[in-house]
């Protein structure tokens, strides 16, 4: 028996998405840059995909560029901010994804940049007064990069509040929206933002494909050179069936957004209550209210003596969860997010459970019982 509760890392491919992709893996294989009929057919599929995404986000098709995913997209935005827009100051937080933090560190080594980190509280929430003070007198030489939702603890960012601060101070605003695209509505005509990113595998699409939205008010240079694909923004033959899968996945996600949200929210609430009933000393990392991803629950088991090997023992029992970001799982440094909000909360005793529409309440019951067996039994845990 295998129970998958690591959906913040990646999600199961929806069978309907696979069905949409298969014709472009077998029959419609023409190069989209070719002028013959097979090329024109695949080019048309890519542009239909672009239009679907633009319609969902309420933006222009000319503002959507396909990439390999969130990491490439975030890199492209930050590098262009410095090299093309002339940004000399970056404002971010210490709980961003490493593809943001490491890119900023690299840029700071190469250019004369000021990097400032906005204060966060003990739950991981942004201090908006501090952000406002950091943004003063920016004059379009500053970019604010803050994620829409934290991938480890689930905290949601008030995008409208950040947008207002940036707009009032002439800052560029970029947001890593990888965890919220496909799960929350975003209207890019209402929320003034210069760039966001998405990755298909976070909402039941294929891995290795994503997109970035770049507002028409700004102009970027290519991150990859060599061809005219993506309107000269990203050279290389397009990931055709990946793009088709991305468009299918995002369309399904938004067609069923409210019903899926209600269902998954119930699972999260049910699981949290069951855990707290069984383990009253467990602490929830991050926000404990509705200002949190309905897909993510990060729990600190450090009050229990058998918590050190808990993640490993869950894996042995066939339960897939995470200690933090999947992109950092091979490192021994621990969670930089948990360390940033509490230096004593980085001992490997916290587990992130993340849910999807494919999970069931009976699975969660099994996990709770297995946790009781591992944590509360008198026998030693191996």
Q: Which residues of the chain have pLDDT under 70?
A: 324-333, 344-347, 378-382
- Residue 35 and residue 16: Cα distance in Å, rounded? 30
Is 3-11+257-376's fold the same as 15-255's?
Answer: no
pLDDT at 345: 65
Copy the structure tokens of residue 112: 């004369």
Q: What is the dihedral of CA 191, 355, 211, 125, to 10 degrees?
A: 40
- The predicted pLDDT at position 109 comes to 96
Catalytic residues: 327
Pairing of strands 319-320, 3-4: parallel
Q: Cα separation of 287 and 266, whole Å?
A: 17
How much is the pLDDT for 280? 96
Q: Where are the domains of the chain?
A: 3-11+257-376, 15-255
What is the SS3 assignment for 199? strand
What is the predicted pLDDT for the residue at 333? 58
Residue 334 and residue 346: Cα distance in Å, rounded? 6
pLDDT at 134: 97
pLDDT digits (tens, 9 = 90+) for 11-52: 999 999 999 999 999 999 999 999 999 999 999 999 999 999
Q: What CATH class is the domain 15-255?
A: alpha beta
Q: In what order do the strands lie in the sheet with 142-145?
A: 64-67, 210-214, 195-199, 172-175, 142-145, 89-92, 114-117
In this structure, whether the domain defined by 3-11+257-376 belongs to CATH 3.60.130.10 is answered with no
What pLDDT, on a 0 to 100 scale, did the predictor assign at position 210?
98
Q: What integer pLDDT is reported at residue 192 of this predicted model?
A: 95
Rounding to the nearest 10 degrees, give the CA dihedral for residues 79, 85, 88, 89: -80
Rounded distance, CA 247 to CA 375, Å? 43
């Amino acid at each position: 028996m295998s129970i998958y509760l690591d959906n913040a890392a990646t999600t199961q491919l929806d069978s309907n998405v696979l069905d949409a992709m298969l014709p472009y893996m077998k029959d419609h294989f023409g190069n989209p840059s070719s002028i013959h009929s097979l090329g024109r057919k695949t080019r048309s599929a890519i542009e239909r995909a672009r239009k679907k995404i633009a319609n969902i986000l309420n933006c222009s098709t000319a503002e959507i560029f396909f990439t390999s995913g969130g990491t490439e997209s975030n890199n492209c935005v930050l590098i262009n901010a410095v090299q093309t827009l002339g940004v000399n100051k970056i404002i971010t937080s210490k709980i961003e994804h490493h593809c943001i933090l490491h890119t900023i560190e690299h840029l700071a080594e190469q250019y004369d940049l000021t990097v400032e980190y906005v204060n966060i509280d003990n739950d991981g929430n942004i201090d908006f007064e501090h952000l406002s003070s950091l943004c003063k007198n920016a004059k379009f030489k500053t970019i604010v990069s803050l994620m829409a939702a934290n991938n480890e603890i689930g905290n949601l960012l008030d995008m409208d509040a950040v947008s207002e601060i940036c707009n009032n101070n002439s800052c560029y605003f970029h947001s890593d929206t990888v965890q919220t695209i496909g799960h929350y509505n975003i209207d890019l005509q209402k929320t003034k933002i210069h760039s966001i990113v998405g990755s298909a595998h976070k909402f039941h699409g294929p891995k290795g494909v994503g997109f970035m939205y770049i507002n028409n008010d700004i102009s970027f240079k290519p991150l990859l050179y060599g061809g005219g694909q993506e309107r000269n923004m990203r050279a290389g033959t397009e990931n055709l069936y990946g793009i088709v899968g991305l468009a299918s996945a995002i369309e399904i996600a938004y067609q069923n957004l409210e019903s899926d949200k209600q269902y998954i929210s119930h699972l999260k609430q049910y699981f949290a209550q069951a855990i707290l009933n069984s383990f009253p000393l467990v602490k929830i990392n991050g926000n404990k209210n509705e200002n949190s991803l309905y897909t993510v629950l990060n729990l600190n088991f450090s009050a229990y003596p058998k918590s050190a090997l808990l993640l490993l023992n869950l894996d042995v029992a066939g339960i897939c969860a995470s200690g933090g970001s999947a992109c950092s799982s091979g490192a021994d440094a621990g969670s930089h997010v948990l360390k940033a909000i509490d230096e004593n909360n980085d001992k490997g005793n916290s587990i992130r459970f993340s849910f999807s529409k494919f999970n069931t309440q009976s699975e969660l019951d099994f996990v709770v019982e297995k946790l009781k067996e591992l944590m509360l039994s008198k026998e030693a845990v191996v």
